[in-house]
Structure 1
Amino acid sequence: MTISKVACAAFLLSLGLLGGCGEKFLEEAPVDQITDANFYQTEQDAIQATNAAYSELTKEGQYNLAMWAFDIWADNSVSGGDDGNDAVEYKQLESFSIPSTNIVANRLWGGSFIGVQRANLVLQKVPAITNISAGIKQRCLGEAQFLRAKFYFDLVRAYGDVPLFTAPPASPEAVNIPRTPAAEVYKQIEQDLKDAFANLPASYAGTDLGRATKWAAAGLLAKVYITEGKKPEAAEWARQVISNSGKTMWDNYADNFKVGNENRNEKESLFEVQYVNGRNEYERNNVGSAMNEFFGPRGANQTPGSGYGFNVPEPDFVNGYEAGDTRKAATVWVPGDAFVDGKTQAPRATGSPFGYNVKKWFVGKVNTNIWDSPLNVPVMRLAEVYLILAEAVGPTTEGLEAINKVRRRAFGLPINTPSAARDLTANTPDFTAAVLRERKYELAFEFDRWFDLKRYNGTPYGLIPVMTAQRDFLRTLGIQRAVPTATNLVLPIPQSELDANPGLKQNPGY
């Protein structure tokens, strides 16, 4: 998506930050003369205000810091980094000793609510603009509905009850509202995504590639419903995407994570966070992704800053790949893997005692800037929609074919051709466990694992039993891993929010 530097009215958020003009993507427009009185007048104003809501996705409050935590907080990975105070915010998470000042908890809350309020501004102001085509007005409203739903989906899953804003507060004091029950937040998310589905186009062309489509809304709605345990509704919306979007999966799993394959209307990605390079240096609140550098093998000299080694795969995660699964080579560096400089992945490195690192977001030395990769991050892919359908309908003919398409691709087989060697069958024991396992490896380091474990809380597949089993396994390798309690089914409400808003109450146990 080629979106100019956004322009929007300043807005006071509950963090005490100004929800003013954010930056996004390739071009810049001057913002020093913009006020609420002279903005929201033209079609371009509407587009720029909408772009402002998109811009929060690229920053620390979303995919440039906070979202990384949800593999580390689960059983996929550990924080990594060096042996000192590096990655302390993630070390707090993996130890399940999380203060209310934790950076992840603060950034996710703050960035998501900035995104919410920017979407609210679009929904409030754009309907009154007259100098705008009907199609662009409808599209901007649909994009804002989609983005508000996406931000709230992250918030409600991470914190539980959260304040629900469906319009910009009329005054700074009006942000001080109590938390809304999660069920009401989910109801609003569902409605926003249905409205977005009705308002958004099916595809884009040219410089608009990468904007949210109706199929992004439908896919996300299926994911919302499966998270809520509403399986018939999840199946209904998953079928809509599969049958009507025109999307097909890449034959090669690794093709999902190549810069040259981004924003393809006919291919697998339903929605991507848009990144470009050449604009950042040491900056995670701009337009380049930091994951190439932060996740790169530490000291490997493959990236501009030689790699930081964050988000290190756990040995049990790596060992869990089935033989022949092509996703392993696309996802993880393992000892002996060849680097571009002729060296190889070491069997042991600082922060990675078993020699594993995340490979999925590696792009190499794309330029001399440090935290600045152009690789987009897929938020929803067609493969996940197939897995949602399989989970929703169980080991029926439909459900088995859905999960088996994903498995066949994983093993380099034709996606639509049955495989006696790899297909699951109606006799597969514990189909739910099989689906969750497939999600674990299909979506590894796409920041879903903790959410999957949390939504199965109270079952053998939930966060506490899974992490307890992992702890017991790691002990046999001499590795100590903490175990979560019921407290860790949510993040703490940031202390700065509690101080600013007397209407908020902290989550139990924090």
Structure 2
Amino acid sequence: MINTKYTCGAFLLSLGLLTGCGEKFLDEKPADQITDANFYQTQTDAIQAVTASYSELTKEGQYNAALWAMDIMADISTVGGGGGGDGIEYQQLENFSIPTTNFVATRLWQGSYIGLGRCNIVLQKVPLITNIDPAIQKRCLGEAQFLRAKFYFDLVRAFGDVPLLLTPPASVSDANIARSPAADVYKQIEQDLLAAITNLPTSYSGADLGRATKWAATGLLAKVYLTEGNKTGAAEQARAVINGSGKSMWANYGDNFKVENENGKESLFEIQYINGRNQYDRNSVGFAGNEFFGPRGQGITPQNGYGFNVPEPDFVNGYEAGDTRKAVTIWAPGDTYPADPTNPGVRTQPKSLPGSPFGYDCKKWFVGKVNTNVWDSPLNIPVLRLAEMYLILAEAVGPTTEGLEAINKVRRRSFGLDYNTPSAAHDLTASSGNFTDAVIRERKYELAFEFDRWFDLKRLNGTANGLLPVMTAQTNYLRTLGIQRGTPTANNLVLPIPQSERDANPNLSQNPGY
């Protein structure tokens, strides 16, 4: 796991806390504090600065709040929670009635720009450091390139055109630039990832485990190409990961989501979390999902569970019989809770809970009472897994021999079978029906609650698997169950540009309909 002890110091550096001063006695470099004048001098400084670039991934602007909405705005889950105004920021997204002050959209924008801003500092300063191992210097640049691409990939998918900042702004006016066309942003993402692939090592060990590798950059590039519709490029990059990374899938799907298997054999890149810091904070180093997604009021998480991100009934019912992913992903009525010495006796998931009238909750990120703390789970979030590379390859090449074998590996594992051994019962064939539909469905269940479904629906818009037809049908279905949610329009293919950002930057235009 990435060593986090340097994050705080590097965070201060990334804020650019430097101002000019005309007083001569202030021209001397301060020796008792960190500034640009005495930092970015050594290899340790470079590593600290890169570590700070990772840290925003763990916070509200990314995997500790904002990206949870990618399933809520899709056909995976509803808000849940305690009802009323609980989770109003997610209710606004679920109902596609999103004000420009929405907390989730604002934090996603802000967190992403903080993160990529730190990457820009690394890319500007680290090449100038002379007291550094050239291999470490090269690696630091590759990590910053990978992370900048990751932040921009989230931004462009969520907001469309966004400002393209590639160097630290020297002044406020330098930062207040207009939005660049999405095509230009994607071009930069590709350039960063291609550079990262050449700069990054293939693996790490010890305290560096969890840093971005060549294979993380290659896998992300495959996903970027697929999003852009470049199926040839997507297939090439996914194939490179499958054949060259040395990665393999776990025999059991659930092994991807165990603390003891973090950064394991199927993982290409994960968000690194630790616990034990006594924190009620989604902007720190522990993952909040254990508590926020835990069954509400059931006492199986430290603070009784908040019950957000509730699986929708048709999603749950859509699992094929025998699919082992269901028990890993879903708490369903009658499921037995872990034994609890403080609450003896066998306890099971109720048929109905606050915020979940059908008795379902998200189980994938459950770790139980890991300690007495809230919002402080140690479970990492996989961002890229080998299984997704197989699904990208399958979607990119279609129902060829290669494509069928790729999707069937994922399917076999889901039924508890050896994924390299053909299965007459579960393998798809060229005559199995619409292959694209099958791949998209497999993504839905393989990657459920990994915060990607809305992005999938967006990139598929214009097809039967796109956001507008899928969510219109979903809204109508939920209303038959007495669950009210809004129907998206074409404007909801992107989020609103946060009003606070437009107030600060008069050159930012707003997306249509907001």
TM score, norm. by length of structure 1: 0.95
C-alpha deviation, 1:417, in angstroms: 0.5
Hey, what's the Cα distance between the residues in 1 that align with 2:475 and 2:289? Answer: 27
Hey, what's the Cα distance between the residues in 1 that align with 2:315 and 2:278? Answer: 33
Deviations 1:443-480 (A, max 9, x none): 00000100000001111111010011112222332322
C-alpha deviation, 1:10, in angstroms: 4.8
The code of the aligned residue for 1:5 comes to Y
Larger Rg: 1 or 2?
2
* 1:8 maps onto 2:6 in alignment: no
The code of the aligned residue for 1:153 comes to F
Hey, what's the Cα distance between the residues in 2 that align with 1:81 and 1:145? Answer: 38
Residue in 2 aligned with 1:301? 299
C-alpha deviation, 1:9, in angstroms: 6.9
Hey, what's the Cα distance between the residues in 2 that align with 1:326 and 1:317? Answer: 15
Residue in 2 aligned with 1:424? 428
Residue in 1 aligned with 2:205? 205
Are 1:9 and 1:39, in contact at CA under 8 Å, matched by a contact in 2? no
The equivalences for 1:181-260 within 5 A come to 181-260=181-260
Matched position secondary structure for 1:312: strand
Hey, what's the Cα distance between the residues in 1 that align with 2:196 and 2:425? Answer: 41
Are 1:280 and 1:288, in contact at CA under 8 Å, matched by a contact in 2? no
Deviations 1:317-370 (A, max 9, x none): 101000000000000000000112431101101000100000000000111111
How has the CA–CA distance of structure 1 residues 419 and 194 changed in structure 2, closer, same or farther, with 3 Å as cutoff? Answer: same
Residue in 2 aligned with 1:28? none
Residue in 1 aligned with 2:309? 311
Residue in 2 aligned with 1:61? 61
Matched position secondary structure for 1:271: strand
Residue in 1 aligned with 2:101? 101
Hey, what's the Cα distance between the residues in 1 that align with 2:365 and 2:321? Answer: 23
Residue in 2 aligned with 1:369? 373
| C-alpha RMSD of the superposition | 1.4
* 1:383 maps onto 2:384 in alignment: no
Hey, what's the Cα distance between the residues in 1 that align with 2:288 and 2:360? Answer: 19
C-alpha deviation, 1:428, in angstroms: 1.7
C-alpha deviation, 1:58, in angstroms: 0.3
Hey, what's the Cα distance between the residues in 2 that align with 1:125 and 1:372? Answer: 33
Matched position secondary structure for 2:10: coil
Hey, what's the Cα distance between the residues in 1 that align with 2:32 and 2:208? Answer: 25
Residue in 2 aligned with 1:490? 494
Hey, what's the Cα distance between the residues in 2 that align with 1:216 and 1:408? Answer: 24
Matched position secondary structure for 1:125: helix
Are 2:296 and 2:353, in contact at CA under 8 Å, matched by a contact in 1? yes
Matched position secondary structure for 1:8: helix
The equivalences for 1:6-85 within 5 A come to 6=7, 7-8=9-10, 10=12, 18=15, 33-85=33-85
* 1:138 maps onto 2:142 in alignment: no
The equivalences for 1:111-510 within 5 A come to 111-264=111-264, 267-340=265-338, 341=340, 342-510=346-514
C-alpha deviation, 1:482, in angstroms: 1.6
Hey, what's the Cα distance between the residues in 1 that align with 2:54 and 2:291? Answer: 23
How has the CA–CA distance of structure 1 residues 9 and 382 changed in structure 2, closer, same or farther, with 3 Å as cutoff? Answer: closer
Deviations 1:232-280 (A, max 9, x none): 000000010000000000000000000000112xx10100000000114
Hey, what's the Cα distance between the residues in 1 that align with 2:199 and 2:85? Answer: 47
Hey, what's the Cα distance between the residues in 1 that align with 2:372 and 2:476? Answer: 43
Hey, what's the Cα distance between the residues in 1 that align with 2:37 and 2:11? Answer: 9
Hey, what's the Cα distance between the residues in 2 that align with 1:301 and 1:32? Answer: 48
C-alpha deviation, 1:481, in angstroms: 2.6
Hey, what's the Cα distance between the residues in 2 that align with 1:487 and 1:69? Answer: 17
Are 1:294 and 1:308, in contact at CA under 8 Å, matched by a contact in 2? yes
Q: How many pairs does the alignment contain? A: 494
Residue in 1 aligned with 2:25? none
Matched position secondary structure for 1:183: helix
Deviations 1:69-89 (A, max 9, x none): 000011100111001211111
The code of the aligned residue for 1:271 comes to F
Matched position secondary structure for 2:170: coil
Are 1:232 and 1:392, in contact at CA under 8 Å, matched by a contact in 2? yes
Matched position secondary structure for 1:482: coil
How has the CA–CA distance of structure 1 residues 120 and 412 changed in structure 2, closer, same or farther, with 3 Å as cutoff? Answer: same
Percent identity over the alignment?
Answer: 73
Matched position secondary structure for 2:384: strand
Are 1:408 and 1:423, in contact at CA under 8 Å, matched by a contact in 2? yes
Hey, what's the Cα distance between the residues in 2 that align with 1:71 and 1:132? Answer: 43
Are 1:9 and 1:20, in contact at CA under 8 Å, matched by a contact in 2? no
Hey, what's the Cα distance between the residues in 2 that align with 1:402 and 1:219? Answer: 15
C-alpha deviation, 1:32, in angstroms: 7.6
Are 1:19 and 1:118, in contact at CA under 8 Å, matched by a contact in 2? no
C-alpha deviation, 1:19, in angstroms: 6.7
TM score, norm. by length of structure 2: 0.94
How has the CA–CA distance of structure 1 residues 439 and 343 changed in structure 2, closer, same or farther, with 3 Å as cutoff? Answer: same
Hey, what's the Cα distance between the residues in 2 that align with 1:207 and 1:244? Answer: 24
